[in-house]
Amino acid sequence: MVTVKLAKTAGFCFGAKRAVDMVQALLDRGERAATLGPILHNARLVAHLEARGARVVESPAQTPPGAALVLRSHGVPREIEEEVRALGLRYVDATCPNVKKIHVLAREAGAQGRIFLLFGDPGHPEVRGIVSHCAGPYFVCEGEEELQDLLKTHPELRTAPVTAAAQTTFHKIYWQKCAETLKKVCTNAAVFDTICNATAKRQKEALDLARQCDRMVVVGGRDSSNTAKLRDICAEECETYLIERADELPAFSAGLSVGITAGASTPASIIKEVLDTMAEINSTEQNFEEMLEESLKSMNTDEKVHGVVVGISPTEVYVDVGRKQAGFIPAAELSSDPSVKPEDVLKIGDEVELLIMKTNDQEGTIMLSKRRVDAMKGWDVIQEAQENGDILEGKVIEVVKGGVIVLHNALRVFVPASQATATRGEELESLQGKEVRFRIIEVNRQRHRAVGSIRSVLREERKAAQEKFWEQVEEGQAYTGKVKSLTNFGAFVDLGGVDGMIHISELSWNRVKHPSEVVKVGDTVDVYVKGLDKETGKISLGYRRPEDNPWVKLEREYPVGTVCEAKVVGMTAFGAFASVIPGIDGLIHISQIADHRIEKPQDVLKVGDVVKVKITDVDLERHRVSLSIRVLLEEEQAEADAAAAGAPENETVYSTEAPEEE
């Protein structure tokens, strides 16, 4: 029988219930309603409201005539609010009051000249809405590691006035670590704990429950941020499943204890449905267990025997155990790795220690297990490895919800997602089938549970690589690295345990608005070290090559006096800038635009025009190029005047007629 425990705080939070009640109230009054995006991240609830007539729209302009537009609990960006008012729409603001408070903090930070630092998911609607209210500089961090990177690349944050807050559904434990760092490192930081109390309480209860249970079930929408965080929290303690409906419940073995919690956007009706389904399963299991117990009374199980392999088939291995019964090992009981074949594990003639699973005297057979004997032996190795901090090796045989399963000497070790990769957010699927090194961080023989950490080994290896790197690195040294992340000001590159940054100005000789125009995450790039700061661990990298310098090309191919076509790319009061070659813009001074006086450049030119110009001056040191249209016009006019006079300019005229007599 499966024991089921339900978290006390599960389901709707205040803000979610308030938003749904607002939509329900409109529909109950017979009014037309539309929600700007799903009112909550719960597909079933949204479908229910749509069935009642609440339409989901992607923009205010799509609001049906006469309908009231409901702004969801996450809030919306300020520009959306302005669009709603500009369209004259009737609207209901269901933004959670806790989110509204963060909007105020963001606005006040800008008004006070403070840098606003928000912890959360940059792509989440709540975060996008909050940052739209920032009137000054701001940064968004997803956790402690990103905060450390930010402090390295922006050391001014250590002394500048900073206002820090968190997304209302941010991971409570992660927030506490980030807040401690800010208070220690930043001398002028105002830190506000803006995580919703209901969220914090729900996360704590889920953590406590996961520590008591063998499995956890988190009920909620897969797109819900707070539901995903509950899953991550529980997955660090035990195998965890995220489901949206009761029919997604996995099959649980008898004897397990299963904890159930639910996200803030999960209605009570769905939680009840899951509990009812679990109750039905328990009832069925109980009846099955009673029948099974009756049929197994004559079996002599849990006894170890030695046997010799006498036959192998695709589904079984046949073993002589020195008894009258024929022994066989089902393929599933050969190894904990489901991908291996029987012939990969044993061969005829092998002697093997086995565990009796079931004896059937009527058929004269004994069902045996090699996998369970190996696992029993493995517990001693695992226990010793935990005590000594040894590094073990194993193969990732399965990616489960909340982590991965690593097989080590027939023992399945659960590695939570938070301990499976070097940084948060990496895809777990990439680990499938790979050999990994890990440590054991928890062993519970009674619950047949071992928990490992790949991350701790990766971090040690990274630290060793960093020490080796700093011993050898020199300015000008070339490296091949992988682009790790992009920011507005540059690209971070993993050089093999150490990160360096290519500033946006170093990515290309041409102007770029964002690093993504040149590189993307995952790209392999060749770089060289431009600057080092061993105290802060800061590494500046160069990416663009001297031979690609457009100024070298200009000097070589476009000397003063060259006539070429240039595209107008900008206008000022004193002239127009035109692109001579990619990466170099020259100035056509207002006095050089026409052969007559003009009031402003726009009288003659506009951005996008392609004009013929003459290069009149090049200052390589100051990176300035002077261009002229006027010189060409005057030269053309001089040629025309000469032609009109009847002879080419600068040529002598000889007459073929005889001179007249006097």
Tens digits of per-residue pLDDT, 195-224?
A: 887 777 888 888 989 998 889 999 888 877
The four Cα atoms 35, 36, 39, 40 give a dihedral, to 10 degrees, of 160
Separation of alpha carbons 251 and 241, rounded Å: 11
Residue 627 has a pLDDT of: 95
Least confident of 178-182, 382-386, 644-648: 644-648
Q: What are phi and psi of 226, to 5 degrees?
A: -70, -30
pLDDT confidence band for 108 (50 / 70 / 90): very high
Tens digits of per-residue pLDDT, 32-54? 999 988 887 777 788 888 888 89
Is the model's pTM score more than 0.85?
A: no
Residue 376 has a pLDDT of: 75
Task: Return the structure tokens found at 266.
Answer: 């999960």
Q: Catalytic one among 126, 142, 285, 333?
A: 126
pLDDT confidence band for 563 (50 / 70 / 90): very high
Residue 301 has a pLDDT of: 52
Handedness of CA 170, 173, 179, 182 (dihedral sign): negative
pLDDT confidence band for 648 (50 / 70 / 90): low
Tens digits of per-residue pLDDT, 381-428? 888 888 888 899 999 988 887 889 998 877 888 998 888 888 776 788
Q: Is 126 a catalytic residue?
A: yes
Residue 616 has a pLDDT of: 93
What is the CB neighbour count within 10 angstroms for residue 485?
Answer: 16
pLDDT confidence band for 631 (50 / 70 / 90): very high
pLDDT at residue 291 above 50? no
pLDDT at residue 285 above 60? no
pLDDT at residue 299 above 70? no
Residue 118 has a pLDDT of: 94
pLDDT at residue 462 above 90? no
Q: Mean pLDDT, to the nearest integer, of 627-631? A: 93
Residue 289 has a pLDDT of: 41
Nearest partner of 177 among 493, 7, 418, 11, judged by Cα: 418
Q: Mean pLDDT, to the nearest integer, of 308-328? A: 85
Distance of CA 436 to the CA centre of its chain: 22
pLDDT confidence band for 306 (50 / 70 / 90): confident
Q: Mean pLDDT, to the nearest integer, of 172-186? A: 89
pLDDT at residue 651 above 60? no
What strand order describes the sheet that includes 33-36? 54-57, 33-36, 68-71, 91-93
Separation of alpha carbons 637 and 633, rounded Å: 6
* Average pLDDT over all residues of the chain: 84
pLDDT at residue 347 above 50? yes
Residue 646 has a pLDDT of: 66
Tens digits of per-residue pLDDT, 224-277? 777 888 888 888 888 888 888 888 888 787 778 889 998 877 877 788 788 877
pLDDT at residue 568 above 90? yes
% of the chain residues with pLDDT over 70: 93
Residue 535 has a pLDDT of: 75
Q: Mean pLDDT, to the nearest integer, of 181-202? A: 86
Cα→Cα distances 110→103, 178, 258, Å: 11, 22, 48
pLDDT confidence band for 509 (50 / 70 / 90): confident
SS3 assignment for 223-249:
CCHHHHHHHHHHHCCCEEEEECCHHHC
